[in-house]
């Protein structure tokens, strides 16, 4: 039987602390959360590897390094209301719930959404919920949000999501342009959106955020 607690400690020491993720709240959240619980039993042995773990529907559990750096980039406050786009099996939502006041995980795959709900319930996480819907649309009727966290890469700008930020709100995502993928921080201030690049990272593109295929004569 794997010692998952020891593997969590090794993950934080080797993949989080060594990649300039210095926020102790992130360390504590990732040390406390049983990442293996969000994977099918056949994949729990690789829950803490240095890489993405495949879920269903072409989706993945993000690698710890990319996930942790996005968390730090978002600068989440305990009072923030947060939208977790592409929450998959719910691990990201569970971690975010330890950092924010309220989290809604958005997932368009019904099977994954069901797994996420079951995991949150089993772990008695009461300040997070799961909604189903198209990822690119966000949850306009339940917004605005202080933080929107995108769990994967985007090939197009998240225009609809940016409109769902509060004044002073932040959106973090990985933007893919050809072979290059860069994490970006978007800030909304008095209706104006600014952005900056932060670090290189590589994750699969989220459904609904693919670049339209170019027309070929």
Question: Which residues are identified as catalytic?
Answer: 62
Q: Do residues 168 and 188 touch, judged by C-beta distance below 8 A?
A: yes
Count of beta carbons in the 10 Å neighbourhood of residue 13: 12
Q: Do residues 34 and 94 touch, judged by C-beta distance below 8 A?
A: no
User: E-strand spans in 31-179?
Assistant: 53-54, 60-61, 81-85, 102-107, 128-132, 145-154, 165-177
- Report in angstroms the alpha-carbon separations of 36 from 10, 44, 67, 152, 174: 14, 5, 15, 19, 24
Contacts of 216 (CB under 8 A, 6+ apart): none
Contacts of 209 (CB under 8 A, 6+ apart): 135, 136, 152, 153, 154, 155, 156, 158
Cα distance from N-terminal residue to C-terminal residue, the chain = 58
């Amino acid at each position: 039987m794997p010692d998952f607690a020891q593997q969590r400690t090794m993950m934080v020491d080797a993949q989080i602390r060594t990649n300039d993720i210095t926020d102790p709240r992130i360390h504590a959240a990732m040390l406390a959360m049983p990442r293996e619980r969000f994977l099918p039993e056949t994949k729990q042995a690789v829950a803490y590897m240095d890489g993405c773990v495949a879920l269903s529907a072409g989706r993945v559990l993000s690698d710890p390094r990319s996930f942790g750096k996005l968390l730090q980039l978002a600068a989440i406050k305990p009072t923030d209301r947060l939208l977790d786009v592409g929450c998959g099996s719910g691990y990201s939502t569970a971690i975010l719930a330890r950092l924010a006041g309220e989290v809604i995980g958005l997932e368009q795959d019904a099977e994954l959404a069901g797994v996420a709900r079951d995991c949150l319930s089993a772990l008695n996480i009461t300040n997070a919920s799961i909604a189903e819907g198209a990822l690119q649309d966000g949850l306009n009727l339940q917004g605005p949000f202080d933080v929107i966290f995108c769990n994967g890469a985007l090939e197009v700008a998240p225009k609809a999501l940016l409109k769902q930020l509060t004044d002073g709100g932040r959106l973090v995502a990985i933007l893919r342009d050809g072979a290059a993928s860069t994490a970006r921080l978007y800030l909304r201030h008095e209706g104006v959106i600014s952005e900056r690049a932060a670090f290189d990272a590589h994750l699969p593109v989220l459904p609904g955020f693919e670049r339209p295929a170019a027309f070929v004569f």
